[in-house]
Amino acid sequence: MDGIYEISMNTPMGPMGGKVTLRTNGDTINGILEIMGMKNNLGNGKVKGNQCYFKGNIKNNALNIEYEIMGQLTGNILNIYAKTNMGEFKLQGKKVG
């Protein structure tokens, strides 16, 4: 699951792209989410086989998005389901590094 993924998602604000970098250590996974011009740390995630789970929030001056993320890696494609206080989103990421 370690690597860099280019992600895309459809949101109420229109299509958005970004990048997520993931690193595992045993059954723990951490990373960085880069989306909407912001970088946010993904911490204290759990990984089991080809599945991962994160819970946290994205903050900037005008925005606070709480999220729960469940992801599944199949080959080099990361399918992500995100449940947030702004709605539910499906994302897909392709491993690029």
Domains of the chain: 3-95 (2.40.128.120)
Asked if 80 contacts 91 with a C-beta cutoff of 8 angstroms, the reply is yes
What is the DSSP track for 2-56? -EEEEEEEEETTEEEEEEEEEEEETTEEEEEEEETTEEEEEEEEEEETTEEEEEE
Q: What is the per-residue pLDDT across 18-76, written as a single tens digit (0 to 9) for each?
A: 999 999 999 999 999 888 788 888 888 999 999 999 988 877 778 788 889 999 999 99
pLDDT score of 37: 80
pLDDT score of 79: 95
pTM, to two decimals? 0.85
Give the separation between CA 33 and CA 81, rounded to whole angstroms: 14
Six token digits for residue 77: 């494609």
